[in-house]
């Protein structure tokens, strides 16, 4: 979903032709039979990765040759009304699941889900939405079911256990997935090398959260991104229970019992929705959209210089602790992605109740 | 179906138009909403779908089926044809079949419910329809349930997991310290699932679901299978093995977490039925029991309703040394 600095750097070393031919090796043309679109992200070359909880798979679709959409004066004042008209369904039957930008051409894609269980992908074009047919695309898939608990069924044969994909990212040649189980409060984070091969298995991690040194709990990751921290690739993740944590990617080894270094607690009852990275005048910033807080801005340099983990007690600020963050004047942002080097695109529930798609820029950084 | 449209026929997934001389020239469009003139549809987007034609009829197949009890309008040759698809009188409404656990007492650090619905539910904004009320003053308990934008639903869409806000149940985390645990000992509460919750056809339930309970002190001990009571069946029968336990255990964590082997380590074929609301697990063998000694093997993820599993507490005190859990129970059939 997010353009990531170190994968960008890697991308620059390769010619686009070479990158495209190698990364889409093994892709076939056809219908990937997507069960549900739950989370989406792009590789720098324009491969769309869809996390499909229903189908227990990751679907990679080559979008690098898709025509560039017209996104001048980008603004859709009422996305819900537009979707409701296009699909002939009441707004409460429809949900926007994710919004991602293809870094190769700045096309904006919106994944939606209807109450019937059907998922539909849209492209933002001319301030409207165009359905993206997925019946015949160049794609490849990776099964994630083997990483999930075996199928449990009740006495009527209904399946009970579910691993719901909460976020997906691509970096360093790996597709990373976080998810929530409906049965256990377990941390289920997976990394799968890309291009996918038959033999590769997802590495599965146990991630724990240690609160102030004494208690630790399994902690599902809700949203995450990757970035360079002190010149090392790191995962910046936020748990369902509010702490913001960082891990070196090198520590994420299969089966490892890993504790993230907590750098901030982000406030009560706050579930992060999307995390992106933006840059301005050489400084890097994390922007985070939340269920119950304004859009937050955190300086990456502050995370780098924050030596302590919050596992030792720290004096608390009013509601939160750890590295400084600044609340930007954007509340109820439900979807967020980097549009280009200077702009970000977001979907916001406005005071009027309408859900609007808008852009803003790095003057807020 | 609408009386004004003799040439059209409507079903939930197709509109058919009997062809005349014009049919081949222009297709009709379909809009959500009831309109009486074409002017009203100008600013609207037509519903997405595909068309097909044969010699006698032209068809429109929408991407999503038309909703029952909703208004739509066909625009064709400068005329409007509103229509509505009525809900069948025999329609079976969405119901809640079971709540796990349904106990009328729960520990203060209780973690999650499972709600079994009679059919798949509308997954959008599910948590907006669910509230927890403190019975003392009938006020809503703020920030009680984890509001996920993708609800935790089983693949078939009928089993919903409701997490009590985990940040408030974990000792020492900010929300726990500032707001305390969601549930206060000796208080009583009611979980309400509003009848406005809809099924996948967009049809709501007919009645609210309510479940009241009283809160007792937190459970900070791991469950142990050593206290489980077995009622071994007789040899040469297919009688079920009944496992009875005293502590409330988590419905989801018991699924697929047990199996039985004989002395040679061979897995016994059969089916486990989880009756967690009766504190009971029943194993029905496929074949007759034979005289032997058997072992029930348990996965460590089996947990109580406070998230403590056989191996570790939900919020583990890492200053205390871990003791390996007992995961096997043996019994003999004579």
Query: What chain A residue is nearest to B302 in terms of C-alpha separation?
Result: A184
Interface predicted TM-score (ipTM) over 0.90: no
Q: Which chain A residues are Cβ-neighbours of B112 within 8 angstroms?
A: 185
Q: Which two tokens stand for residue B325?
A: 């859990």
Output the tens digit of pLDDT for each of chain A's 365 residues. 444 444 444 434 443 444 445 778 889 999 999 999 999 999 999 999 999 988 889 999 999 989 999 998 999 999 999 999 999 999 989 999 999 999 999 999 999 999 888 999 999 999 999 999 999 999 999 988 654 444 555 555 555 666 678 899 999 888 998 887 766 666 667 888 898 876 555 555 655 555 544 555 566 777 899 999 989 999 888 876 667 888 888 877 766 666 777 787 776 556 788 999 999 999 999 999 987 788 999 999 998 888 655 544 444 433 456 788 888 999 999 999 999 999 999 999 999 999 999 999 988 88
Q: How many Cα atoms within 13 Å fall on the side-chain side of residue A67?
A: 5
Assign domain B8-84 to a CATH class. mainly beta
Number of domains in chain A: 1
In a domain, residue A98? The reply is: yes
The beta-carbon neighbor of B146 closest among A155, A240, A243 is: A240
Whether residues B32 and A88 touch (CB distance < 8 A) is answered with yes
Q: Which chain A residues are Cβ-neighbours of B73 within 8 angstroms?
A: none
Query: What chain B residue is nearest to A132 in terms of C-alpha separation?
Result: B48
Query: What chain A residue is nearest to B257 in terms of C-alpha separation?
Result: A152
DSSP A245-259: EEEEGGG--TT-EEE
> Fold match between B8-84 and B225-333?
yes
3-state secondary structure of A25: coil
3-state secondary structure of A4: coil
Whether residues B65 and A38 touch (CB distance < 8 A) is answered with no
Around Cβ B23, how many Cβ atoms within 10 Å? Answer: 18
Q: What is the pLDDT of residue A117?
A: 82
Assign domain B225-333 to a CATH class. mainly beta
Q: What is the pLDDT of residue A215?
A: 56
The beta-carbon neighbor of A118 closest among B64, B149, B167 is: B64
Q: Which chain A residues are Cβ-neighbours of B159 within 8 angstroms?
A: 158, 160, 182
Asked if A273 contacts A266 with a C-beta cutoff of 8 angstroms, the reply is no
Beta bridge partner(s), residue B221: none
In a domain, residue A157? The reply is: no
Q: Provide the residue range defining the domain that includes A63.
A: 5-145+162-364
Whether residues B63 and A120 touch (CB distance < 8 A) is answered with yes
Q: Where are the domains of chain B?
A: 8-84, 96-216, 225-333
- Nearest Cα neighbor of A189 from A36, A356, A51, A320 is A51
Whether residues A92 and B165 touch (CB distance < 8 A) is answered with no
Whether residues B174 and A242 touch (CB distance < 8 A) is answered with yes
Q: Which chain B residues are Cβ-neighbours of A79 within 8 angstroms?
A: none
In a domain, residue A334? The reply is: yes
User: CATH number of the domain at B96-216, please?
Assistant: 2.60.40.1220
Q: What is the pLDDT of residue B262?
A: 95
Q: Which chain A residues are Cβ-neighbours of B155 within 8 angstroms?
A: 54, 159, 162
- Nearest Cα neighbor of B251 from B110, B100, B99, B107 is B100
Question: What angle (nearest 5°) sits at the alpha carbon of residue A52, between those of residues A51 and A54?
Answer: 155
Q: What is the pLDDT of residue A219?
A: 64
Whether residues A93 and B250 touch (CB distance < 8 A) is answered with no
Q: What is the pLDDT of residue B25?
A: 58
CATH number of the domain where residue A273 is located? 2.130.10
Residues of chain B with pLDDT under 70: 1-6, 21-26, 167-179, 318-319
């Amino acid at each position: 979903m997010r353009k990531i600095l170190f994968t960008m750097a890697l991308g620059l070393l390769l010619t686009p032709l070479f990158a495209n031919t190698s990364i889409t090796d093994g892709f076939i043309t056809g219908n990937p039979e997507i069960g549900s679109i739950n989370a989406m992200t792009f590789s720098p070359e324009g491969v769309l990765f869809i996390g499909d909880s229903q189908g227990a798979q990751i679907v990679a679709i080559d979008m690098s040759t898709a025509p560039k959409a017209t996104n001048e004066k980008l603004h859709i004042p009422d996305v819900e009304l537009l979707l409701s008209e296009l699909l002939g369904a009441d707004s409460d039957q429809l949900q926007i699941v994710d919004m991602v930008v293809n870094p190769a051409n700045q096309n904006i894609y919106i994944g939606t889900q209807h109450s019937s269980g059907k998922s539909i992908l849209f492209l933002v074009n001319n301030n409207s939405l165009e359905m993206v047919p997925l019946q015949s695309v160049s794609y490849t898939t990776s099964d994630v079911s083997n990483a999930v608990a075996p199928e449990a069924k009740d006495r009527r044969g209904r399946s009970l256990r579910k691993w719901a994909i909460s976020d997906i990212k691509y970096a360093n040649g790996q597709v990373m997935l976080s998810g929530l189980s409906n049965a256990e409060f377990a941390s289920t984070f997976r990394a799968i090398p890309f291009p996918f091969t038959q033999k590769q298995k997802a590495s599965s991690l146990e991630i724990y959260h240690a609160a102030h040194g004494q208690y630790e709990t399994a902690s599902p990751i809700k949203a995450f991104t990757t970035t360079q921290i002190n010149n090392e690739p790191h995962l910046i993740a936020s748990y369902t229970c509010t702490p913001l944590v960082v891990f070196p990617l090198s520590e994420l080894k299969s089966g490892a019992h890993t504790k993230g270094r907590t750098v901030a607690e982000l406030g009560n009852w706050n579930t992060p929705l999307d995390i992106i990275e933006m840059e301005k005048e050489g400084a890097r910033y994390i922007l985070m959209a939340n269920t119950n807080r304004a859009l937050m801005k955190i300086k990456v340099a502050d995370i780098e210089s924050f030596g302590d983990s919050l596992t030792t007690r720290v004096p608390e600020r009013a509601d939160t602790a750890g590295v400084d963050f600044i609340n930007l004047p954007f509340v109820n942002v439900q979807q967020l992605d980097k549009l280009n080097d200077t702009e970000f695109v977001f979907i916001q529930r406005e005071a009027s109740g309408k859900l609007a798609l808008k852009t803003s820029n790095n003057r807020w950084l | 179906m609408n009386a004004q449209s003799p040439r059209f026929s409507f079903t939930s997934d197709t509109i058919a138009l009997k062809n005349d001389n014009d049919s081949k020239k222009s297709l009709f469009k379909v809009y959500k909403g009831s309109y009486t003139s074409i002017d009203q549809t100008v600013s609207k987007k037509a519903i997405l779908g595909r068309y097909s034609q044969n010699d006698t009829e032209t068809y429109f197949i929408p991407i999503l089926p038309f909703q029952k009890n909703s208004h739509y309008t066909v625009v064709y040759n400068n005329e409007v044809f509103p229509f509505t698809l009525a809900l069948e009188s025999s329609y079976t409404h969405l119901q809640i079949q079971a709540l796990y656990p349904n106990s009328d007492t729960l520990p203060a650090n209780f973690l999650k419910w499972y709600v079994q619905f009679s059919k798949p539910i509308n997954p959008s904004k599910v948590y907006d329809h669910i509230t927890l009320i403190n019975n003392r003053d009938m006020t809503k308990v703020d920030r009680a349930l984890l509001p996920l934008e993708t609800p935790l639903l089983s693949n078939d869409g009928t089993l919903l997991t409701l997490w009590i806000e985990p940040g408030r149940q974990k000792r020492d985390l900010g929300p726990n310290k500032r707001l305390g645990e969601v549930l206060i000992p000796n208080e009583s509460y009611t979980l309400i699932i509003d009848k406005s919750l809809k099924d996948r056809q967009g049809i709501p339930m007919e009645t609210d679901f309510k479940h009241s309970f009283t809160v007792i002190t937190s459970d900070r001990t791991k469950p142990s299978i050593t206290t489980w009571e077995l009622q071994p069946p007789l040899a040469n029968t297919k009688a079920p093995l009944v496992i009875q336990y005293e502590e409330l255990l988590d419905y989801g964590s018991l699924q697929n977490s047990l199996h039985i082997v004989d002395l040679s380590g061979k897995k016994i074929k059969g089916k486990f039925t989880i009756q967690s609301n009766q504190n009971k697990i029943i194993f029905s063998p496929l074949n007759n029991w034979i005289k032997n000694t058997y072992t029930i093997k348990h996965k460590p993820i089996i947990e109580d309703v406070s998230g403590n599993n056989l191996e570790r507490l939900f919020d583990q005190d890492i200053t205390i040394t871990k003791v390996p859990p007992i995961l096997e129970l043996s019994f003999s059939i004579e």
